[in-house]
Chains A and B, each alone.
Chain A
Amino acid sequence: MSSETQTSALREYWQRGRGQANLMIGLAVTLTLVAVALVSLVWTPYTVSAIDIPGKLQPPSADHWLGTDQFGRDVLSRIMAGAVNSIAVSLVAVGIGAGIGVPLGALAAARRGLVEEVVMRFNDFTFAFPALLSAVMITALFGPGAINAIIAIGIFNIPVFARLTRAAALSLWKRDFVLAARVAGRGRTRITIDHILPNIASLLIVQMTIQFALAILAEAGLSYLGLGTQPPNPSWGKMLNEAQTLMFIAPQLAVFPGLAIMVTVLGLNLLGDGLRDLLDPRLRRLR
């Protein structure tokens, strides 16, 4: 593709996408989240981990828009910094999942036979364990922490991508242009790289958005159980965990971090749906 046709394709997508409410809302929420995360790296209303015991558990006020937590830390600052944590963990986890899952799936589709069988059995196998349970065991094994949360979430993204890639690639291998390439004597790897992967890229992008949302939920769940991000680094799930025993005296602490998670996941899901509508017009009929 020349760069000229690329730009015009992008322009066409933009023209079409502008009219899609879910895409636009999703994009706006996601961009806001990224912006908040970036801002928090250089500026937050208060120092994120600054403890002020006498000023603890304040309700929302002009000074502290979302109040303060059990150590007098500013909740808004911590939610902002928590966005960085959520994005970083989820991004790497989905990266691991796609980075390993896509080649595995493509390999299974290209080689068939025993390779495929092994890959697919491995997939079934990971599905047999509730992901959360395995994550709990991984952290028990290696100790809690953001890195292990990433690994735990990443591992369970592998079969998702492997399955999707294989299914999509299998149907492509039967298509005429691929058969033509085979007849022309191209190797399987070459064909996979030149023809298969570019054609399933949009599918993968949509799936990555959805997995990204799921990873954010998973990270929050693990941190809520005390298995994810370690203090004093702020994490939305951890904030909810700390809020639980304080629910009678400071219920607001249990509200804002959850809202942050919900809005983020909602935004990413809308973005994913929107992208699917945009990139895969065949499915539009069903929406």
Chain B
Amino acid sequence: MNRFLARSIQAGVVACGLIGLGALPATAAKDSITLAMPLEPPHLDPTAGAAAAIDEVVYANIFEGLTRIDSAGAVQPALAESWEVSDDGLTYTFALRSGVRFHDGTAFDSGDVKFSLDRAMAEDSTNAQKGLFESIASVETPDAETVVVTLKQPAGNLLFNLGWGDAVIVAPESVANNKTNPVGTGPFAFERWVKGDRVEMVRNGNYWGTPARLARATIKIIPDPAAATAAMLAGDIDAYANFPAPEALAQFEADPRFKVVIGSTEGETILAINNARGPLSDLRVRQALAHAVDRQAVIDGAMFGYGTPIGTHFAPHHPAYVDLTGSYPYDPDKAKALLAEAGYGDGLSLSLKLPPPSYARRGGEIIAAQLAAVGVATEISQVEWAQWLEQVFKGTDYDLTIVSHTEPMDIGIYGRETYYFNYQDADFKALMAKLNTTVEEGARYGLLAEAQEKLAADSVNVFLFQLAKHGVWNKDIVGLWENSPVQANDLTAVSWQ
């Protein structure tokens, strides 16, 4: 059946190739793109929800903030043309771009900025990342093109924070309908949303910056890997920014019509451990778990080889990354010895809660088998996100779970007073406090390295791998992001060759 299938796919490819040749002049003039993604956004207002799918549609396309994060993860000016920081680090003065208009024609000025930031910080704010604005004391508007942000204490990451999708600038006139009819200042204007199927955008003719090269863009929702594969092969979609099934990538790699681009994401995938639970509070047990897990087998089995092993909670592509993957090499005998030493030579029984993504479901089964090999029995339960949030995240009623922490630079979660790892370490907290007030880059990197080593030494969690971004797109498309420094599909610079 397999060979049969391969042959029929080959035939299909040849046929498509022929059609492609015939249509060559048409593709040269192509100025629209159909990009697919797996999950549909619940709505299109990035300031009112945590769903990554919202940002993946609207960020940098429809909505813009004062700053933006580029494809390399660096902060760039956006609606703020430039800014000055006072010497004490407490006052940021932003010079706004002039002549900017929202898609509905209303003018953009400092009032919109104040409105947007005040709204996000307000008492009844429903902004999912309200914490981003925590350091802000007040927002003032000396004139229409200047915004002064005053801080309670210095915050080294304010400019980065203002580049998040949750910090985009909205207009008071249109904010009420942004969930269904988003109105921003970006290079693309929202046209329509066919629920369950696609979102359509058109080029914003009045854009303040370099206009988009595409006249229109359609973002199609295809959750089913089989349907996505078929749609790619049939040419119904031009690109899939992050293909949901790594197992299907080999097929695209072998096909000259497509480019497969494996990029990086900010997702540290970990086997999280409840550090407060009985045996798991014992360092030796946590180390034993780390020795018992064969990361490469997990990557091969769950992600079909795509993913970079990590040894601590830090993204390998970051300049401050320290490679600690050698701290606990795969060694079942060592794991057994450590368990015996800790008094669990006769075995141990733990719960393993797995949220829906395939890295967790598949990875969980592999890890369960690996743990069983060293005498740790696991009881797997597959949970929905709702249950995961309630039981694991909020209630910390779990022993082990697998999850990918997809926010950029989130090592600070280990220093929080309450977090579901239940890792309480005064030294680490002191380290984080010092980091928050340190501005000089070299010193920051030094502290970050120290923090990474500390997490590995304490074996807080079993650090598995950095989630890869599996991009598949037509070979003639240029300008799509290869990596995901933030959750976005920035189409500003995309064009056909």
Flag if A53 contacts B366 (CB, 8 Å): yes
Flag if B2 contacts A248 (CB, 8 Å): no
Bound complex: CA of A71 vs CA of B362, how far in Å? 9
Flag if A50 contacts B369 (CB, 8 Å): yes
Q: Which residue in B251, B364, B366 is a CB contact (below 8 Å) of A248?
A: B251
Residues of A within 8 A of B250 (CB): 249
Bound complex: CA of A26 vs CA of B364, how far in Å? 39
| Residues 22-51 of A at the B interface (beta carbon under 8 Å) | 49-51
Flag if B225 contacts A245 (CB, 8 Å): yes
B154 interface residue per 8 A CB criterion: no
A232 interface residue per 8 A CB criterion: yes
Flag if B300 contacts A251 (CB, 8 Å): no
Known: A53-B366, A247-B226, A251-B1. 15 other contacts (CB 8 A): A49-B369, A53-B300, A70-B247, A70-B362, A71-B365, A72-B301, A143-B383, A143-B387, A230-B381, A245-B225, A245-B245, A245-B247, A245-B248, A248-B248, A249-B248
**Interface centre among B2, B251, B300, B381, by most A CB within 10 Å?**
B2
A221 interface residue per 8 A CB criterion: no
Flag if B2 contacts A231 (CB, 8 Å): no
Chain B interface size range: 20 to 34
Would you give the shortest CB distance from B302 to chain A, in whole angstroms?
9
Q: Which residue in B245, B358, B380 is a CB contact (below 8 Å) of A232?
A: B380
**Interface centre among B229, B244, B368, B369, by most A CB within 10 Å?**
B369
Bound complex: CA of A51 vs CA of B372, how far in Å? 11
Residues of B within 8 A of A72 (CB): 301
B297 interface residue per 8 A CB criterion: yes
Flag if B380 contacts A231 (CB, 8 Å): yes
Residues of B within 8 A of A252 (CB): 1-2
* Nearest residue, chain A, Cβ from B354: A231
Convert A108-121 into 0s and 1s, putting 1 for each residue whose CB lies closer than 8 angstroms to a CB of B: 00000000000000
Flag if A59 contacts B2 (CB, 8 Å): yes
A99 interface residue per 8 A CB criterion: no
* Nearest residue, chain B, Cβ from A49: B369
Query: Shortest 3 CB-CB distances between A and B: which pairs?
Result: A51-B369, A53-B301, A245-B225
Residues of A within 8 A of B24 (CB): none
Flag if A231 contacts B366 (CB, 8 Å): no
A64 interface residue per 8 A CB criterion: no
Bound complex: CA of A144 vs CA of B1, how far in Å? 34
Flag if A51 contacts B301 (CB, 8 Å): yes
Flag if B226 contacts A244 (CB, 8 Å): yes
12 contacts between A and B (CB under 8 A): A49-B372, A50-B369, A51-B301, A71-B362, A140-B384, A143-B381, A145-B381, A231-B361, A245-B358, A247-B226, A248-B226, A249-B251
Bound complex: CA of A145 vs CA of B382, how far in Å? 9
| Residues 332-388 of B at the A interface (beta carbon under 8 Å) | 358, 361-362, 364-366, 368-370, 372, 380-384, 387
* Nearest residue, chain B, Cβ from A139: B384
| Residues 245-287 of A at the B interface (beta carbon under 8 Å) | 245-252, 255
* Nearest residue, chain B, Cβ from A246: B247
- A230 with B382, Cβ < 8 A, contacts A70-B301, A252-B1 known: yes
A95 interface residue per 8 A CB criterion: no
Bound complex: CA of A109 vs CA of B248, how far in Å? 59
Bound complex: CA of A49 vs CA of B378, how far in Å? 13
Would you give the shortest CB distance from B382 to chain A, in whole angstroms?
6
* Nearest residue, chain B, Cβ from A56: B301
Bound complex: CA of A143 vs CA of B225, how far in Å? 26
Residues of A within 8 A of B297 (CB): 51, 53
**Interface centre among A53, A59, A252, by most B CB within 10 Å?**
A53
Would you give the shortest CB distance from A183 to chain B, in whole angstroms?
59
Q: Which residue in A71, A230, A249 is a CB contact (below 8 Å) of B247?
A: A249
Convert B1-44 into 0s and 1s, putting 1 for each residue whose CB lies closer than 8 angstroms to a CB of A: 11001000000000000000000000000000000000000000
Q: Which residue in B5, B225, B301 is a CB contact (below 8 Å) of A71?
A: B301
Residues of B within 8 A of A140 (CB): 384
Would you give the shortest CB distance from B16 to chain A, in whole angstroms?
16
| Residues 199-226 of A at the B interface (beta carbon under 8 Å) | 226
